[in-house]
Amino acid sequence: MPRLEGIRSVMVIGSGPIVIGQGCEFDYSGTQAIRALREEGLRVVLINSNPATIMTDPDMADATYIEPLTFDACRAIIEKERPDVLLPTLGGQTALNLAMELSDSGVLEEFGVKLIGVDLNAIRRAEDRSGFKALCEEAGFDTPRSAVVQSMEEAMRALELLGLPAIIRPSFTLGGSGSGMARTRDEFVRIVKTGLRKSPVHEVLIEESIEGWKEFELEIMRDRDGNHVVVCSIENLDPMGVHTGDSITVAPVQTLRDREYQMMRDASFKIMDEVGIWGGANVQFAVEPSTGRMTVIEMNPRVSRSSALASKATGYPIAKVAARLALGYTLAELPNDIVGTIPAAFEPSLDYVVVKIPRWNFEKFSGVEDVLGSQMQSIGEVMALGRTFNEALQKALRSLESDWTGFDTVALPAEDIERMLSVPNSLRLFAVKAAYAAGMDTARIHELSRIDPWFLENLRVLVDFESRVRAEAFPPPREFMRAAKRFGFCDRQLATLWGVREEEVTGAREGMDIHPVVKMVDTCAGEFEARTPYYYIVYDDECDVETDTRRSRNAKRKVVILGSGPNRIGQGIEFDYCCVHAAMAVREMGCEAIMVNCNPETVSTDFDISDRLYFEPVAFEHVMAIVRKEQPAGVIFQFGGQTPLKLLHRLAAAGVKVLGTGVEAVDQAEDRERCHDLMNSLGILHPPCAFASSREAAIREAARIGYPLLLRPPYVLGGRSMELVRSEEEIMESVDSALRSSESRALMIDKFIEGAVEVDVDCVSDGENVVIAGVMEHMEEAGIHSGDSSCVIPPLALEEEIIAEVKNQTVRIARALHLVGMMNAQFAIKDNRIYCFEINPRASRTVPYVSKATGVQWVKLATRAVMGEKIDMARYGETIMPDYMSVKAPVFPFEKFPGVDSILGPEMRSTGEVMGIGETFDEAFIKAQLAAGYRLPRGANVFISVANRFKRKVIFPVKALRDMGFHIVATPGMAKVLRSHGVPARVVHKLSEGDHDIIDMIENGDIHLVVNMAWSRKSVKDDKFIRLAANKMKVQCITTQAGFHALVLGLQTLSGGPVHVESIQNYNARLGRPAVAEAAGGGARAVSEVA
């Protein structure tokens, strides 16, 4: 059947910043779909506010708008671009909600835009809790007993009917936001209030508890003719009660009988038909283990988090197929990309097992209890493939980079084991192991955890085999070693159990001729010949792929690119962006790009981004196996963040060719003492620092350097465990916990430059020539982690002489390190003195933002340098200073952690970022704030509570707010200062003065913005409950002077009328420079010289 007629242009809505519940899986899906749409000859218009995505690259869509995902921005783009259709199923819940708003308001009808892939009624049927329940029951499917309510009065009536415990789920939210399990009446009231507030339609579903039931998901495709395909069946290891995004999941399903699976499959098809979707969707089920009762839980009428997992688990490109189905094609008309000779109508069949494990960052949020529930809390995830569940599980645990070599023994207090089994938490898997070690049987563990006995027995097998390993003398018999490898034990893991070095285990294994083999993901269990370049490594008898062990003179040169592993705070989608661009550049140079990564959410693990994809842990044994199989010209380490750099020394020592900046330079940049020696030799200032390994030494060195100080463990990511201390009293409070959190039992003590302006510089070097990619001025003063600070290109307040000297120092450092590739340097500037306080000899998290702001794909240029090309300084020698302003702003997960203080400091806690572009700083900043989700209604009440040192500095911005019609509420001291300057303010008392009415005002919805600037630790503690109340009620809380000033300037711009929207292509065209030159025939030669 031909595609729908009359479609020339399509608008795609992205998902915006990375937040818990909506991560970089939507960049993968969106990128794949946009490519498919353009292959159909369509003009693609994209709106997305996230600069760290591949989909927002200017060469992806025809018109890319990096604008806030708001109704006003979407309407303006529709009016300007006049698309024929809108595809809303690729941008998660954000895109669906916007599509509904655009339709309900009449905008789509006004401009003649049609929805494709899913219509408005289909969205309502799937997303509206009451509507979906009625649809399922009319179709003859069981659903949990429930009631849909829109007020507390209705909720209390439902409680009498359903009883406790009860599950509360808001409508039209993502990641389980606002949901929860209520076991008491007080919990019920609290969760319902939160759910009603977070639901955009002020509606929640109250369900009977089915906690402990088994949970399943089916990923379905449906075309306009009603043909269906189950792409993947997924089983949650964790039972109902844990959000599926926080659950360990396994594909294909392991514990369903065929009859049960067929019932579930048929139900999914009928639900898809009733809802009316052309494309992909996800249907979730629960099964009561003892009776087999099956209920439908919910449906996502769009590409989802599970879609990305299913795509990577099977190799079936769900988003690409969904985009074409939305255009009217049928499944039979579309090819299976992996096999090529069969259509997309063939259901994938797997002859391997896939395990996904979430990655949490609880350590970043002090005071948060490690308890999992119906609201998602994980930041990222990993996926592993193996021939058995046991093998895949061990590989997945290794992939998490949590210092586990597999299903290790984690020290847990014996008295906590039963609680850790019965209350879901991030370490429950290890509690199962501890329970078996303590003599508990499977029946008892199942009773406590409700984890299916099939999974528990497989875990018991691993525990028993580990006991056999401990009892076996080293080296073991060949068959025993072979069995250990097939169970997924890595050499390091076995070395620990045998008490020998890893190298000894590796040597013994290789001496026994036990080597891993390469297996192929083919979607058809080997039934048809596949042409996919998608592999995984196992210890099996048969190898699916004959790799080149000898490189012929005519063969393409191979380059391995090491990915960034799971998303976490401090290392997110920005590094995947860099890896993807590196792969693109390698391929453009006529070489073969080989990607190694384990993150199912990312674009880098799309099998057609590189020439070969290895879905494997970014760990030494796995990378070495790939290098030995592929025999590459070299390995690129510098684009995947700290993950590849941690392997640099061992791989180089093993003879692996390092492409780009060498081991010595990395050591010199990352070792603080050696780095300071380099700075001294170059005459570059740096803050004084010292190392201390005891409480006494820390206090002594602090007194020598002088306060204030930054206290932190060495070699940490995202400022983990970093603290700002201002006195001996404060360092005495902090030093013991800081030493405990340091793996090396040592601390770094840095002089903190109070009141300095922080500057980031990204550069590219070929070893001789150095190009400044971007100079970013941070808006918040030094002391707030750079990843949590907004920044601007070009610099706003720095003098030309200062900018020139910062660039000069960066160039000198890069040359001194003989840098090849990318480098990030961070400076603090005070009283015209420039202090360099950090050097990162790799790509940084700012690179995608800099690329979008300057119109140059800097990673591609850096990759060419890494591959041996010299930089054309005539083209790139002059630093780009755009005539427009670009602001990058962080996005925080505090909404998911209501007990966490939102005050910013030296430890990074943001999960994502947004970008605002405008003709002025004010316009760019307010766009970034809108993109981050902040809204401030006209005539709103603004509460001001700041430390004495800030009082006079906020007078003029507060006066400006008053002039714009905002009402000011302030503490007595602040109100007195404001009134003395002619600004009327209502007085409320602070908590420390015994009056709680400010908390009441916030919780009653009477405060719409909180400005709270603390200084001393006492004021931070005193005001904590104000910030917590604001967080709980989703009220924006500004804690920095610079942030407040910028917001007021932005609001003044917004008050002048709607903001202007413009495509990134048009902004970049003003710079008058091409992005990166195409390969000129020297690429392959260049890499051969370094091979």
The pLDDT tens digits for 725-750 are 888 888 888 887 777 766 656 788 99
Q: Could you give the 3-state DSSP secondary structure of residue 177?
A: coil
940: number of CA atoms within 13 Å, CB side? 18
The pLDDT tens digits for 224-278 are 999 999 999 999 999 999 999 999 999 999 999 999 999 999 999 999 999 999 9
Structure tokens at 940: 């709103």
User: What are the beta bridge partners of residue 592?
Assistant: 558
Query: Rounded to the nearest 5°, which phi and psi values hold at 396?
Result: -65, -40
**What's the pLDDT score for residue 1077?**
42
**What's the pLDDT score for residue 1081?**
35
Residue in 145, 158, 75 with CA at minimum distance from that of residue 110: 75
Does the residue 953 lie in any domain? yes
Between CA 1018 and CA 696 the distance in angstroms is: 24
**What's the pLDDT score for residue 744?**
57
Q: Output the domain CATH number for residue 726.
A: 3.30.1490.20
Between CA 894 and CA 12 the distance in angstroms is: 28
Handedness of CA 538, 540, 544, 545 (dihedral sign): positive
For residue 807, is pLDDT > 70?
yes
**What's the pLDDT score for residue 782?**
82
Does the residue 1004 lie in any domain? yes
Residues 831 and 940 in one domain: no
Size (the chain), residues: 1091
1087 pLDDT tier (thresholds 50, 70, 90): very low
Residue in 634, 572, 570, 484 with CA at minimum distance from that of residue 907: 570
Residues 528 and 652 in one domain: yes
Could you tell me if 714 and 744 are in contact, meaning their C-beta atoms sit under 8 angstroms apart?
yes
**What's the pLDDT score for residue 177?**
80
The pLDDT tens digits for 615-646 are 999 999 999 999 999 999 999 999 999 999 99
Query: Rounded to the nearest 5°, which phi and psi values hold at 69?
Result: -85, 75
The pLDDT tens digits for 71-86 are 999 999 999 999 999 9
The pLDDT tens digits for 20-65 are 989 899 999 999 999 999 999 999 999 999 999 999 999 999 999 9
- Strands, DSSP E only, in 365-451? 380-386
The pLDDT tens digits for 693-736 are 888 888 899 999 999 998 887 665 655 667 888 888 888 888 87
Does the residue 29 lie in any domain? yes
Between CA 819 and CA 863 the distance in angstroms is: 13
Residues 616 and 636 in one domain: yes
Q: Could you give the 3-state DSSP secondary structure of residue 733?
A: helix
CB under 8 Å to 801, separation ≥6 — which residues?
Answer: none
Structure tokens at 414: 């014996």
Residues 381 and 408 in one domain: yes
Residue in 511, 255, 219, 207 with CA at minimum distance from that of residue 389: 255
Residues 726 and 771 in one domain: no
Does the residue 240 lie in any domain? no
Candidate from 421-425, 1049-1053, 1074-1078 with smallest mean pLDDT? 1074-1078
Between CA 498 and CA 478 the distance in angstroms is: 15
**What's the pLDDT score for residue 531?**
64
**What's the pLDDT score for residue 339?**
63
Residues 407 and 510 in one domain: yes
Could you tell me if 969 and 988 are in contact, meaning their C-beta atoms sit under 8 angstroms apart?
yes
Does the residue 973 lie in any domain? yes
Q: What is the mean pLDDT of residues 1024-1049?
A: 90
Could you tell me if 269 and 139 are in contact, meaning their C-beta atoms sit under 8 angstroms apart?
no
Does the residue 473 lie in any domain? yes
Last residue of a domain, one of 189, 209, 229: 209
The H or E element that residue 604 is part of is: none
Residues 599 and 633 in one domain: yes
Could you tell me if 45 and 82 are in contact, meaning their C-beta atoms sit under 8 angstroms apart?
no
Q: Could you give the 3-state DSSP secondary structure of residue 1051?
A: helix
Last residue of a domain, one of 699, 722, 745: 745
Query: Rounded to the nearest 5°, which phi and psi values hold at 187?
Result: -60, -40
Residue in 1027, 1073, 814, 791 with CA at minimum distance from that of residue 925: 791
Could you tell me if 351 and 526 are in contact, meaning their C-beta atoms sit under 8 angstroms apart?
yes
Q: What is the mean pLDDT of residues 161-166?
A: 92
- DSSP 8-state code for residue 213: S
**What's the pLDDT score for residue 34?**
97
Residues 371 and 490 in one domain: yes
The rounded mean pLDDT for the chain is 91
Last residue of a domain, one of 209, 234, 255: 209
Residues 876 and 1012 in one domain: no
Residues 456 and 536 in one domain: no
606: number of CA atoms within 13 Å, CB side? 30
- DSSP 8-state code for residue 685: B
Q: Output the domain CATH number for residue 791.
A: 3.30.470.20
1080 pLDDT tier (thresholds 50, 70, 90): very low
Does the residue 332 lie in any domain? no
**Domain range for 821:** 757-882
**What's the pLDDT score for residue 942?**
96
Residues 651 and 535 in one domain: yes
552 pLDDT tier (thresholds 50, 70, 90): very low
pTM for this prediction: 0.94
Q: How far is residue 1017 CA from its own chain's centroid?
A: 31
Query: Terminal CA-to-CA distance of the chain, rounded, Å?
Result: 51
Count other C-beta atoms under 10 Å from residue 162's C-beta. 18
Query: Rounded to the nearest 5°, which phi and psi values hold at 175?
Result: 60, 25
Of 1000 and 960, the structure prediction assigns the larger pLDDT to: 960
Q: Output the domain CATH number for residue 49.
A: 3.40.50.20
Question: What's the number of domains the chain is made of?
Answer: 7
Does the residue 450 lie in any domain? yes
Residues 479 and 580 in one domain: no
- DSSP 8-state code for residue 277: B
Q: Output the domain CATH number for residue 1012.
A: 3.40.50.1380
